[in-house]
Amino acid sequence: MDIPTLAAYHCLAFVWYFFIAYSIMHVRTEERPSEVFLYGGQWKYLTVLNLVLQAVFYGVSFLADALRLIKKLRCAKCVISSRDLLFSVLAFPVSTFVSISFWILYTYNRELVYPKSLDEVIPHWLNHAMHTAVLPFALLEILATPHRYPAKKKGLILLGFVAFLYISWVLWIYSVTGEWVYPLFALFSPAGLTAFFTGSLAIIISFYNFGEFLNRMIWGQSKFRFSILF
């Protein structure tokens, strides 16, 4: 994409994610199922955190495009570095994990991740916006522009650290309320839960590697040094 088209796309994507995040944050409190919105509110769900993450990413991406359009290349270079780090380490692997893991578990037994009581509160279009559309958006971003991935060790350490923070948040909520963020977790023994979290981390790391692979296959290496100029 040329820069004006890319800027328009990133702006629309930012507005979309901001709207979806705003919509889920303003679900009418009197209609919220009490067993779902306990301690931590929506902020305990990876889906909601991912919406905020995507809005931040596309906001940063639009800022990078705008700086390139007005020829502020020195500032653009710094913003592009932040954009690429956000996308490679978090935006792509997390959105892919959220979409694929949600629909696999939903198909197996929706009560484990998305109780039927939520259908009366969250419309179907919003469910698909949160759990389905995030994947094609992530893939389209790879097709739209090249991204420079960090050194593998650095990228995986950052991804692992963020995963550790979220798991710690989930365990803290359980220690305070005695309720799991997702009913699925109640099925596991402590050893089983450790294995589940470890397996989930391995899966999200595989999505990180998959994103890097797609980025390299589509754009190669030569595009990166020129991406800021055109």
Report the alpha-carbon distance of residue 195 to residue 213 in Å, rounded: 27
Higher pLDDT, 31 or 123: 123
pLDDT for the residue 127? 94
Cα-flanking dihedrals φ and ψ of residue 223, to 5°? -70, -30
Report the alpha-carbon distance of residue 146 to residue 133 in Å, rounded: 21
Helix, strand, coil percentages for the chain (3-state, nearest 5): 80, 0, 20
Above 80 in pLDDT, residue 34?
no
Above 90 in pLDDT, residue 131?
yes
Above 80 in pLDDT, residue 100?
yes
Spatial contact of 111 and 188, defined as CB atoms under 8 Å apart: no
Cβ partners under 8 Å of residue 140, min gap 6: none
Report the alpha-carbon distance of residue 131 to residue 198 in Å, rounded: 22
Q: Nearest to residue 86, comparing CAs of 64, 62, 54, 63?
A: 54
Report the alpha-carbon distance of residue 202 to residue 99 in Å, rounded: 16
Above 80 in pLDDT, residue 222?
no
Cβ partners under 8 Å of residue 193, min gap 6: 185
Higher pLDDT, 4 or 16: 16
Spatial contact of 42 and 24, defined as CB atoms under 8 Å apart: yes
Candidate from 24-33, 71-80, 141-150, 189-198 with smallest mean pLDDT: 24-33
Count CA atoms closer than 13 A to 145's CA, side-chain side: 28
Mean pLDDT of 26-43: 62
The pTM (predicted TM-score) of the whole model is 0.90
Write down the domain spans for the chain. 3-227
Candidate from 28-32, 173-177, 200-204 with smallest mean pLDDT: 28-32
Report the alpha-carbon distance of residue 38 to residue 5 in Å, rounded: 42
Mean pLDDT of 146-163: 95
Above 60 in pLDDT, residue 226?
no
Above 90 in pLDDT, residue 220?
no
Higher pLDDT, 146 or 70: 146
Above 70 in pLDDT, residue 73?
yes
Query: What separation in angstroms does the CA of 229 have from each of 61, 157, 224?
Result: 15, 30, 10
End-to-end CA distance of the chain: 10
- Mind listing the pLDDT tens digit for each residue in 142-153? 999 999 999 999
